[in-house]
A = this chain, B = another copy of it.
């Protein structure tokens, strides 16, 4: 049997576009004599459709779309993913279903059994888990059709009490197909293949796996669809971060290949570029703007944006205040020149003075403090948003994860933006990205990389005045955020108690700021945003 793996970039709720892509791919697979073409989980709706699933109208449109696609499945079978109404008279309203279509008809409906409900996943919010198992028989082959998490219950402490493949084994399947929506983080591609390998070995079956690619707001899908033999060896691997299509003959001879390898920073770089590009494309915007400070965060964000959108679509604005150093302006200008992009210098001093005068009756006699610091950041925010409103740009946020964690950033100031590009990238990783960007030539001025980080909101300010070194800070943050370690556990790793307590307190007392930040492109296993849900009004480690 010839199986086509179709790895596509869907758009949530864009039924016409998704349907057209799928129909095109069916035609292509048919033209190349495939017997079966496989699309990914919830390919009809895009993933994750979230609370659109609560609208009957949305579900109807999904079902209509599948019926439409079925018309094109003659002489070829297809598997698509779409939500489906649960009419059993009990349980959640929907199933997360793989629709097996052949001869223009729906032949089998396979519902997802294991519903991930953790981190960014909310599937039990919508779907009833499957508890009836059936095999698909097609062209003399018995196919175990599973959906993403259905193969993931392989931990030493299993999260679910059932394994769908155990239930399917009595039907003597000859191969496993898994349709997935497995989002990227920089360790995920390796983990994913490890999980699939465990299944291939446990059940002694080959696996054909189709993932999404493309960004859906903050979630990045990296693709990496594949075929694996029954020894858990990789025999085909589709591209990462690109649409791809591959036909594999189940009866053919296949040599074993190695997983495409990338460094962590290369993966992050590619993922962020795709994230920016898809955010703009899917919202129907072209042009980005950002505030360029001469520091490393805005420099890296700018380079990624230019990669994603093209230099003609990105503008930078330099917004110096009286506390900005000359070298910062020069570094920013050099970068804009290196990239060949439009850059404007708009000093904020006169507007700052106007606010000072306005507030003088109330602030007079009180010392310069965070109010005046934030004022500068907010004036910049107002000017950047003015450009967006006048010319139709989307403002890119340039904050990094370390800052977002400890609350170093001004709400309604430098925390503004339609999308946060680096909000899941620790400061130490931003440095690595900068070096990666400069791997062949000095695109980001070296001075932006080597000078001590500073917000430049008062004279001679440095991040290190009030924060530990970033390598210490980032390690403590990583242990707390990604690894959910408590203060005692982190202290036992060798960090000073006073520093640990202070940092965790900063993280928890700044939840209210993160609540109002733009969506953050997710590149780690625990990003701020939908995958990390912390109460604002709480008193834990504060």
Complex alpha-carbon distance, A530 and B122, angstroms = 12
| Segment among A248-256, A366-374, A425-433 that sits at the interface with chain B | A366-374
The answer to whether A278 touches B537 (Cβ under 8 A) is: yes
- Beyond A355-B383, A382-B379, A390-B369, whether A486 also contacts B56 by CB under 8 A is yes
Interchain nearest-CB distance for A451 vs B (Å)? 27
Closest to A131 in B: B161
The answer to whether A390 touches B412 (Cβ under 8 A) is: no
The answer to whether B350 touches A357 (Cβ under 8 A) is: yes
| Segment among A7-15, A23-31, A194-202, A323-331 that sits at the interface with chain B | A7-15
A137 at the interface (CB under 8 A from B): no
Within 8 A of B (CB), among A111-137: 117-118, 122, 124-125
A487 at the interface (CB under 8 A from B): yes
Interchain nearest-CB distance for A528 vs B (Å)? 11
- Beyond A350-B358, A540-B52, whether A412 also contacts B91 by CB under 8 A is no
Complex alpha-carbon distance, A385 and B122, angstroms = 35
Contact partners of A217 in chain B: CB under 8 A:
535-537
Closest to A517 in B: B516
The answer to whether A519 touches B539 (Cβ under 8 A) is: no
| Segment among A95-103, A152-160, A168-176, A466-474 that sits at the interface with chain B | A152-160
Closest to A354 in B: B354
The answer to whether A55 touches B484 (Cβ under 8 A) is: yes
Binary B-proximity of A32-57 (CB < 8 A = 1, otherwise 0):
00000000000000101111101111
Complex alpha-carbon distance, A89 and B12, angstroms = 37
Contact partners of A370 in chain B: CB under 8 A:
389
Interchain nearest-CB distance for A373 vs B (Å)? 8
Complex alpha-carbon distance, A375 and B125, angstroms = 40
The answer to whether B411 touches A385 (Cβ under 8 A) is: yes
Within 8 A of B (CB), among A319-363: 344, 346, 348, 350-351, 353-355, 357-359, 362-363
Within 8 A of B (CB), among A455-508: 484-489
- Beyond A57-B486, A363-B390, whether A536 also contacts B519 by CB under 8 A is yes
Contact partners of A358 in chain B: CB under 8 A:
346, 348, 350-351, 383
Interchain nearest-CB distance for A382 vs B (Å)? 5
Interchain nearest-CB distance for A2 vs B (Å)? 33
The answer to whether A539 touches B13 (Cβ under 8 A) is: yes
Residue among A348, A357, A418 having the largest count of chain B Cβ atoms under 10 Å: A418
Binary B-proximity of A80-118 (CB < 8 A = 1, otherwise 0):
000000000111100000000000000000000000011
The answer to whether B382 touches A282 (Cβ under 8 A) is: no
Contact partners of A52 in chain B: CB under 8 A:
534-535, 538, 540
Interchain nearest-CB distance for A421 vs B (Å)? 15
A518 at the interface (CB under 8 A from B): yes
Binary B-proximity of A507-542 (CB < 8 A = 1, otherwise 0):
000001001111100000000001011111111111
What are some 8 contacts across the A-B interface (CB < 8 A)?
Answer: A12-B538, A49-B538, A58-B486, A216-B538, A353-B354, A371-B390, A382-B412, A412-B416
10 new A-B contacts, CB < 8 A, other than A50-B535, A124-B124, are A13-B538, A13-B540, A52-B535, A54-B484, A58-B540, A90-B161, A91-B159, A122-B533, A282-B539, A371-B386
Closest 4 CB pairs of A and B: A57-B486, A13-B540, A371-B389, A354-B354
